[in-house]
Structure 1
Amino acid sequence: MEIHVYDTYVKAGDGHIMHFDVFTAEKDDQKAILHAKKWLASIGEAKAEVSSKECQFCHSQQAPDDVLDSIKQQGYFIYQLEGCPGHTRAR
């Protein structure tokens, strides 16, 4: 299954930048923004600004099964990158 990736940068409440990708089954900019807001609220960052300026379509790609399972269950998958609570640096 092909998924769509939205590259997202938002400023957290403490001022640091969080970089993450929103993976969706539909190429729909507004839904990607809503998914980003929902995830941000779930980690205590509900006040972070997310618009088409911060969350932009990047590319489409094939997805592994765990990502597809998440998309089927909740409509999206968040791939955490720099500055996110679940991101760890490679050694």
Structure 2
Amino acid sequence: MKVSVWDTYVQRVDGKVMHFDILVTNEVTDEEIIYGFGKQYLKTKPFGTEQLTAKECRFCHIEQATEQIISSIENVGFHIIEMENCD
């Protein structure tokens, strides 16, 4: 499965910047849907964050998905790769 990787940076209320990738099938191109996945992920965090928009989330590249990513996308529609300040 080919997936689109959306590079995302979101300001936390404590001043730190979260960096994570949102992965979706490459057929998903509606930015509002992708931002919705990011907002859904942010709601799982115990700390507050600023908004998530096109300024914070941009298409980066397409890559081949691993089995874990495929499973996540099949179950919830997206996969998150946490990079920095996500906990």
Query: Structure 1-normalised TM-score?
Result: 0.86
CA RMSD of aligned residues (A): 1.3
Overall identity of the aligned pairs, in %: 34
Between the two proteins, the alignment pairs up a number of residues equal to 85
Moved more, 63-72 or 43-52: 43-52
TM-score (norm 2): 0.90
Q: Secondary structure at the match of 2:14?
A: coil
Residue 81 of structure 1 aligns to a residue whose secondary structure is strand
More strand by share: 2
TM superposition outliers: structure 1 runs of 4+ over 2 Å: 44-48
Match of 1:2 in 2: 2
The verdict on how the C-alpha distance between 1:10 and 1:32 changes in structure 2, with shifts beyond 3 A counting, is same
After superposition, where does 1:21-40 map in structure 2 within 5 Å?
21-25=21-25, 26-40=28-42
Q: How far apart in 2 are the matches of 1:33 and 1:42?
A: 15
Q: Give the Cα–Cα distance (whole angstroms) in 1 for the partners of residues 16 and 52 of structure 2.
A: 15
**Per the alignment, in what secondary structure is the counterpart of residue 32 of structure 2?**
helix
Q: Which residue does the alignment assign to 1:53? A: 55
- The residue aligned with 2:43 is 41
Give the drift of 1:5: 0.4
Question: What are the Cα deviations for residues 21-43 of structure 1, in whole angstroms up to 9, with x where unaligned?
Answer: 00001233221111000000111
* Structure 2: runs of 5+ lacking an equivalent: none
Give the secondary structure class of the aligned counterpart of 2:3.
strand
Work out whether residues 37 and 46 of structure 1, in 8 Å CA contact, stay in contact via their aligned partners in 2. Answer: no
